A and B are shown apart, each in its own frame.
Chain A
Amino acid sequence: MDVDSNQGRMGAYLRDHQDKVVSRWTELVVAGLRGRSSAAEVRRELEDLYSLVIRAMSGADVQAAGELRAALAELSRSRARNGFTPSETALAIFALKDAVYELVADTTDLMPEYLAFSRTIDDLGLHTFETYATAREQVIADQAASMLELTTPVIRLWDGIIAVPLVGTLDSVRTQLVMEKLLETLVATGAEHAVLDITGVPTVDTEVAQHLLKTVSAVRLVGAECIISGIRPQVAQTIVALGIEFGDIATKASLADALAHALSRTGHKIGTA
């Protein structure tokens, strides 16, 4: 007996006992929900799924398998949004096996078909799990991207002076982004001074220093000057301890000092009140 005919017989069996199975399935699922959805709502959801399962099992409908997977993905997503764990969603799918088994248990000649059916349902349950994981990863990737955007603003401090306050660890991806944004702003605005403020950078190791030096060097190449500001006492000590050489790059304790330095370079005079 091949799998297809197994599925065909099981499909027919499931169609014949639709009401009973769906009722029992709903019962089982609702028991595990702890009142987060109404029984009527769950039943409607499961009925849709059940009819798709039957169509997929009957084998005649080629699109049904795809539709079933899409419906499960949607279910997994909406449940995840409502605070269900992926296990709960998968268990709700697996409950269909229990519901069917209770009926099939007496008719021993359907056992092979039931086993094949059981495998199919396992597959579907795992599919909801996978969808959940994929959705999660998407959320994480989106957050990482928006965090990058958030943490690298380029601000205009004065005529011809722009600043980039760096917050958080400076890795190569961020450096690249900061560099691109900074250089584009410099070229677009014609600003001649750029201040890199590292007050928000927790630690400066050789790698971070390397990235800073690269940025400074690129800024110089487009024809502007770069000042590094916001060097905290601990950071200064680490830089010296690591033997990092900033060379002729202007470094200042605070953003205010850097602004004053840049203003004096552009020929502005700052009066003290």
Chain B
Amino acid sequence: MERVPILKIGKTLFVSIQIDLQDESVMQLQEDLAEELAGTGAHGVIIDITAVEIVDSFIGRMLATIGSISRLFDAETVLVGMRPAVAITLTELGLSLRGVRTALNAEKGLALLNGSA
């Protein structure tokens, strides 16, 4: 199983998903992220999914769960770089990811976090 690295930049955790998402790797990411949030006291999480081409309902739901978990640590989650096809799939699946903020790219996501901090 491939592991997604979590980078800490200042008060923000940065996760860039560059692999084909498997159910286990997303579960692992959720665990790692929870650990990291508890340990570092970060106030924001940026998840870059520019490279993700395929999502299913499970991964969509896990993304929403990650958002909810982050909020418990008083951190905001920004999902950045979602591809149009992925956005359409998630909408068709009825997953609007209400608890997660979104931005077009990592730069804008960072600005969003800093602006709201």
* Partner among A176, A187, A220 whose Cβ is within 8 Å of the Cβ of B83: A187
A192 to B81, CA, bound (A): 12
Report the tally of A-B residue pairs with Cβ distances under 8 A.
59
> Given the interface contacts A183-B87, A183-B88, A221-B90, does A190 sit within 8 Å of B97 by beta carbon?
no
Q: Which A residues lie within 8 Å of B92 (CB)?
A: 214
| Min CB gap A266→B, angstroms | 12
Give the residues in chain B near A224, CB-CB below 8 Å. 102, 104
**Chain B residues whose CB sits within 8 angstroms of the CB of A179 once the complex forms:** 84, 88, 91
Kindly provide the distance from the CB of B55 to the nearest chain A CB, expressed in whole angstroms: 10
Q: Is the interface of B mostly helix, strand, loop or mixed?
A: mixed
- Judging by beta carbons under 8 Å apart, are A180 and B80 in contact? no
Tell me, rounded to whole Å, the shortest Cβ–Cβ distance linking B64 to chain A: 11
Query: In the bound complex, do residue A223 and residue B103 qualify as a contact, i.e. CB atoms below 8 Å apart?
Result: yes
Q: Is residue A33 within 8 Å, beta carbon to beta carbon, of the partner chain? A: no
B88 touches A223 (CB 8 A): no
In the bound assembly, the distance between CA atoms of A221 and B109 in angstroms comes to: 12
- B-facing residues in A214-249 (Cβ within 8 Å): 214, 217-224
Chain B residue total in the interface (Cβ 8 A): 20
- For A223, the chain B residues whose CB sits under 8 A away are 79-82, 102-105, 108-109
Q: How large is the interface on A (under 10, 10 to 19, 20 to 34, 35 or more residues)?
A: 10 to 19
Max chain A Cβ within 10 angstroms of own Cβ: one of B80, B84, B92, B103: B84
Contact across chains for A187 and B84 when beta carbons are under 8 A apart: yes
Per DSSP, chain A at the interface is helix
Which residues of chain A come closer than 8 Å to B22, judged between CB atoms? none
Q: Does B96 contact A (CB under 8 A)?
A: yes
Q: Is A186 an interface residue (CB 8 A)?
A: yes
- The CA-CA distance from A219 to B87 in the complex, in Å, is 8
User: Restricting to B59-107, which residues have a CB under 8 Å from any CB of A?
Assistant: 79-84, 86-88, 90-92, 96-97, 102-105
Contact indicator A221/B102 (Cβ below 8 Å): yes
Give A19 Cβ to nearest chain B Cβ, in Å: 67
Name 20 A/B residue pairs within 8 A (Cβ), A-sorted: A179-B84, A180-B88, A186-B104, A187-B84, A190-B105, A190-B108, A214-B92, A217-B91, A218-B84, A218-B87, A220-B96, A221-B82, A221-B90, A222-B82, A222-B84, A222-B104, A223-B82, A223-B105, A223-B108, A223-B109
Which 8 pairs between the two chains have the least Cβ-Cβ distance?
A: A183-B84, A221-B87, A223-B103, A223-B104, A223-B102, A218-B87, A217-B96, A218-B91
What residues of chain A have their CB less than 8 Å away from a CB belonging to chain B?
176, 179-180, 183-184, 186-187, 190, 192, 214, 217-224
